[in-house]
Structure 1
Amino acid sequence: MKEPIYRILVIEEDAALIKKIQQLLTLHHYDIYTSTTPEEGIYICRQYRPDLVVCGVRLRGGSGYHFLMELRNDPSLQHIPLIFISGKEGKEDMRMGMNLGADDFLSKPFKSKELLLSVKSRLNRFTIFNVQQREKKHTTIVSMPVIPPEVHHKLSKTEFRVMQMIAEGMSTKEIAQTLNISIKTVENHRHNISKKLNLTGHNSLIKYAIKHLTQQYKILS
């Protein structure tokens, strides 16, 4: 009996890494789709119904966190298992990904065997459900920016820019380098933003930024 061909979406900003993963998974008889942006990734998921997603934390024009939230908020896609890949070794990325509903997390550089074992494990868990979900009608997707009024009213231009960078998955160090300011200044901006928006708790600012300062998607029948 022939083994089923599983569909896997690889979404990552690094084209070289996409090619490497695509070659590896194709060699093991998986059907691969690729993307570099959250918007295109969501479209592919709705149109082709992959059985699994391998997703980078950093994506072009957004972040893997945003993509994962869109995936988990869509009843027709929320069952799809997702493996996060990140270039950082810190626990913050892993904790954030798991809190949002990721199924596994690999830090770069990872071995081919690690990825293959993770893929096989996730597919085995979701095989029955995925087979039932494969045949779905096409949908049209339009982006709908949703930005709360308080973000514009309460924050300065610099604070708003810092929030945008947080929503894109940038770390405090990366924000400091991009804006040519100190890490301490970025930390002060983050503290002031949280205070102005009445945000408390670990990762509350990150979750708020991802939810409100990135593109939301609306299905048109």
Structure 2
Amino acid sequence: MRSRYSIPVSTALILGSVLTFLTSCEANHSPITEHATSSTLIPQTKIQTFTTATPVPLPFATTKTKRWNSANNGTPYEPCNALTPASLLASKILPETIQDAASVDGQTIRGCMWDRTSTGAGFSQVVVNSASLTAYKHNEPDNFLADIEQNGRTIGVATSATQCFTYVQSYRSGVITAFYMGSVNPESYEELCQNAIRFTRANLQRIPIGN
């Protein structure tokens, strides 16, 4: 089942994002701190500092000790916890089919994937460290469409292989929401993108912005 979920993240992007982050921190003399968090970062009273996020309890058991790692810890947002059954069902996504999006321990992406009611169709939402939507576009070969604006935030939209996905910036990470074609009566790219955009718009407030 996992093989059909092709998450659009490249090694070049990850390395570039990490280097950009480290260079920025060094230039601004900003300390990197770590702390446990569930939804928001600890407010900084003097200087805004970047704070790497740390693991939170998941709705399922996992043996992956490196699920959270330096390639996906740029935001405290955890898709597996943030998306409620009601928000999933509204888009015909089956909450009970939740599973870890990472197939191996230490994978660059962090998040979950679910089945949809259409035969063979899927949905995923993952996090990967990325400096910005612009940087992500520069490093990925996907077919990006026109950006969308909502409440002062930019939503990137792209198609790749058998999916359409959106990109939303959250602190130093990108949150990628993808809808996949099913094996029977597959949807068109237009339908997939409509679903991805609709879902992202409806759940945008769940994703923290950060600095």
User: What TM-score do the two structures reach when normalised by structure 1?
Assistant: 0.28
Which of the two has greater helix per residue?
A: 1
- Between Structure 1 and Structure 2, whose CA radius of gyration is higher? 1
Which of the two has greater strand per residue?
A: 2
User: What TM-score do the two structures reach when normalised by structure 2?
Assistant: 0.29
